[in-house]
C-alpha cells in the first residue's frame, strides 16, 4: 500500500474510534432513573460517588437490586465508605449482556469487580462467581461469601449497551464479609500541609493566602477532588503574571486548578477530554474548563493558552482525593489570550484547523470578558520556561484528535 494511503487509513481508524468513544457516553443515574423500582440502589450509587466511576468505565456490568431487596445495603449504621465497597462488589468489570450470560459454559466463571480493583480487597475476595445452574438459572456469589449465605439469582436484564454497559437485576444483595467490613472514616487531610511537603510549597502558600479559594477546595476534598498543583519553579515563573491579577482573578485561577471529581492517574489518562473545574461552578457564566490528554506515560493538561502542562508526579492518590504536581501554571482562556498555532503542524493528509472537539476557540476570545477580569489579560504567554518542555509531537497528535471529523473526510477522500 502506498504510504500516504496507509497513513490515511490509519487516521480514518483513529477518527472512527474517537467518534465511537464520543457516542458511547452514558449516565448510569439517568439509565436507572427510568426505573423507580431501583431508586434506592440508584441513590446510593450517587451518594457513594460510584455513579461517576461507572460512567467513566466501559465493558462493565452493574448488578442492581430492587428497593424491596436492598437488605444489608439499606441498613443504617454502615458508613458510606462501607456501602461503597458493598456496591463496588455489584459492578463486574466485564460485559455480561443477558445473552452472553446464558451462553456461558456450564459451571463457574469468576469475574473481577470494582471492589477488587479498588485495592481494598484481599486475595480472591472482590471476585464474583457466576454459576450456570440446571434449567438455565444463573446465580452470582461473592468469592468470599460464607457457605451459609445464599447466592443471588439473575432476575432480568434492565439495560444493555453492547459491549460497554449491561445492567442486570439480581434478587438480593451479594453477601461479602470483606466488602461489608466496617471502614473507618478517612483521616482528615490538611491540604496546606500535604502540598507543602512535596513539590508544591509555593502553590500551598498561594492557596492559604486566598480564603475563598482555600475554603472551596477544602470543602470539596472529601467528595471527590483532583487538585493539580504547579511545582515551585512553575509558580516562581508565573508570579509576575499572578501579581497582576485582581483578587477575583486570583481566586478564579486557583480554583481552575481543582477538578471536583476524583481521578486516579490511570483514569485521567484513559478519559481524555474536557474537564470542568471549581472555577466553572464559582465564576458565573464562564467555562473555565481544560482538556486532558494522554501523553506518553503521563497526562497533559491543555488550556489552549501556551503549551500544555504535564503531570510530573503524584502527591497523593487516595480516593476521594488526588493531588498531582504539574509542570506549569494553568492559564485559563477566560483570563489569557488563546495561543495561535504553536508550530505549523506538518500534517500530510488533514487540514490543520484549530477546531476542538469541545468548543470553538472563538467563544473564548478575550473580548468576551465583560467584567474586570479582562483587565487581567496580558499577552498570551510563551515566556514560561516550562512551555518549551512540550515538543511539537503531542500537539500534532492532539491536532489529529481534535480534528477527527475533518480527518475522516480527508482520509476517505484519499483512500477512495
Ligand atoms: C446524570 O443524570 C442525572 C439524572 O438525569 C443528572 O442529574 C446528572 O447531572 C447526570 N450526570 C452527568 C455527569 O451528566
Ligand atoms: C467460586 O468458584 C471456584 C471455582 O471456579 C470455587 O473454587 C469457589 O469455591 C467458588 N466460590 C464460591 C463462594 O462459590
Ligand atoms: C494545616 O497545616 C498547616 C501547615 O502545616 C498549619 O499551619 C495549619 O494550622 C494546619 N491546619 C489545620 C486545620 O490543622
Ligand atoms: C477544612 O476542612 C476540614 C474538614 O474536612 C475542617 O475540619 C477544617 O476546619 C477546614 N479548614 C479550614 C481552614 O477551613
Ligand atoms: C502587568 O500589567 C501591566 C499593565 O497592564 C503590563 O504592562 C505588564 O506587562 C503586566 N506584567 C505581566 C508580567 O504580565
Ligand 1 centroid – CA 166 distance (Å) = 18
Ligand having the closest approach to the CA of 218: 4
Nearest CA to ligand 5 atom 11: 241
Ligand 2 centroid – CA 141 distance (Å) = 8
Whole-model pTM: value is 0.62
Q: Other C-beta atoms within 10 Å of 223: how many?
A: 12
Ligand 2 binding pocket includes 145 (Cβ within 6 Å): yes
Ligand 1 binding pocket includes 4 (Cβ within 6 Å): no
* pLDDT at residue 188 in the model: 86
Ligand having the closest approach to the CA of 260: 1
Cis peptide before 284 (omega within 30 of 0): no
* Cell numbers describing residue 298: 503521563
Ligand having the closest approach to the CA of 191: 3
Contact 54, 82 (CB under 8 A): no
Residue 73 dihedral angles phi and psi, to the nearest 5°: -75, -25
Nearest CA to ligand 4 atom 11: 218
Ligand having the closest approach to the CA of 34: 1
Ligand 1 binding pocket includes 27 (Cβ within 6 Å): yes
* pLDDT at residue 125 in the model: 87
Ligand 1 binding pocket includes 218 (Cβ within 6 Å): no
Ligand 5 centroid – CA 256 distance (Å) = 21
What is the 8-class DSSP label of residue 371? S
Ligand 1 centroid – CA 30 distance (Å) = 6
SS3 408: helix
Ligand 1 centroid – CA 258 distance (Å) = 20
Burial 107-118 (b: 16+ CB within 10 A, else e): eeeebbbbbbbe
* pLDDT at residue 202 in the model: 97
Ligand having the closest approach to the CA of 276: 1
Nearest CA to ligand 5 atom 8: 378
How far, in Å, CA of 100 to CA of 214, rounded?
A: 50
Tens-level pLDDT at each residue, the chain (416 residues): 444 555 444 444 444 444 344 345 899 999 999 999 999 999 999 989 899 889 988 999 999 999 999 998 988 888 888 999 999 999 999 999 988 888 887 789 999 999 998 888 888 889 999 999 888 899 999 999 999 999 999 999 999 999 999 999 999 999 999 999 988 777 889 999 999 998 999 999 999 999 999 999 999 998 889 999 999 999 999 999 999 999 999 999 999 999 998 898 888 888 788 999 999 988 777 899 999 999 888 999 999 999 999 999 999 998 889 999 999 999 999 999 886 655 444 444 444 444 444 433 433 333 333 344 443 444 434 333 333 333 333 333 333 333 333 444 344 444 43
Instruction: Please compute, for residue 83, the number of CA atoms within 13 A of its CA located in the half-sphere on the CB side.
Output: 22
Ligand 4 binding pocket includes 223 (Cβ within 6 Å): no
Ligand 3 binding pocket includes 149 (Cβ within 6 Å): no
Ligand 1 centroid – CA 29 distance (Å) = 6
SS3 177: helix
Give DSSP secondary structure letters for 75-143.
Answer: -TTS-HHHHHHHHHTTEESS---HHHHHHSPSEEEEEEBHHHHHT-S-TTBTEEEEEE-GGG-EEEEET
* pLDDT at residue 4 in the model: 53
Amino acid at each position: 500500500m502506498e504510504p500516504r494511503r496507509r497513513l490515511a487509513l490509519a487516521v480514518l481508524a483513529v477518527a472512527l474510534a474517537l467518534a465511537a468513544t464520543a457516542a458511547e457516553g452514558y449516565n448510569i443515574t439517568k439509565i436507572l432513573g427510568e426505573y423507580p423500582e431501583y431508586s434506592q440502589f440508584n441513590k446510593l450509587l450517587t451518594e457513594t460517588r460510584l455513579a461517576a466511576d461507572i460512567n467513566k468505565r466501559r465493558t462493565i456490568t452493574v448488578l442492581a437490586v430492587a428497593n424491596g431487596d436492598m437488605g444489608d445495603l439499606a441498613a443504617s449504621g454502615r458508613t458510606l465508605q462501607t456501602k461503597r465497597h458493598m456496591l463496588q462488589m455489584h459492578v463486574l468489570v466485564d460485559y455480561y449482556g443477558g445473552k452472553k450470560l446464558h451462553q456461558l459454559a456450564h459451571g463457574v466463571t469468576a469475574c473481577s469487580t470494582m471492589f477488587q480493583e479498588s485495592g481494598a480487597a484481599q486475595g480472591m475476595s472482590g471476585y464474583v462467581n457466576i454459576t450456570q445452574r440446571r434449567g438455565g438459572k444463573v446465580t452470582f456469589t461473592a468469592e468470599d461469601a460464607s457457605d451459609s449465605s445464599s447466592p443471588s439469582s439473575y432476575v432480568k436484564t434492565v439495560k444493555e449497551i453492547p459491549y460497554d454497559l449491561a445492567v442486570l437485576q439480581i434478587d438480593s444483595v451479594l453477601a461479602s464479609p470483606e466488602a461489608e467490613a466496617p471502614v473507618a472514616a478517612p483521616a482528615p487531610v490538611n491540604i496546606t500541609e500535604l502540598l507543602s511537603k512535596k513539590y508544591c510549597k509555593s502553590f500551598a502558600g498561594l492557596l492559604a493566602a486566598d480564603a475563598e479559594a482555600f475554603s472551596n477546595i477544602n470543602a470539596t476534598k472529601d467528595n471527590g477532588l483532583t487538585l493539580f498543583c504547579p511545582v515551585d519553579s512553575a509558580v516562581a515563573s508565573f508570579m509576575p503574571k499572578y501579581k497582576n491579577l485582581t483578587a477575583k482573578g486570583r481566586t478564579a485561577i486557583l480554583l481552575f486548578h481543582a477538578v471536583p471529581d476524583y481521578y486516579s492517574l490511570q483514569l485521567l489518562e484513559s478519559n481524555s477530554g474536557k474537564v470542568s473545574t471549581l472555577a466553572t461552578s464559582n465564576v458565573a457564566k464562564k467555562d473555565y474548563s481544560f482538556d486532558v490528554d494522554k501523553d506518553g506515560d503521563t497526562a497533559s493538561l491543555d488550556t489552549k493558552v501556551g503549551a500544555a502542562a504535564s503531570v510530573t508526579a503524584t502527591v497523593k492518590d487516595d480516593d476521594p482525593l488526588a493531588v498531582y504536581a504539574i509542570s506549569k501554571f494553568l492559564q485559563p482562556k477566560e483570563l489569557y489570550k488563546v495561543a495561535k498555532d504553536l508550530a505549523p503542524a506538518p500534517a500530510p493528509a488533514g487540514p490543520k484547523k484549530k477546531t476542538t472537539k469541545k468548543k470553538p476557540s472563538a467563544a473564548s476570545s478575550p473580548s468576551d470578558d465583560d467584567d474586570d477580569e479582562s483587565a487581567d489579560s496580558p499577552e498570551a504567554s510563551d515566556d514560561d520556561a516550562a512551555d518549551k518542555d512540550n515538543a511539537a509531537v503531542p500537539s500534532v497528535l492532539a491536532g489529529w484528535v481534535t480534528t477527527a471529523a475533518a480527518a475522516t473526510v480527508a482520509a476517505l477522500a484519499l483512500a477512495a
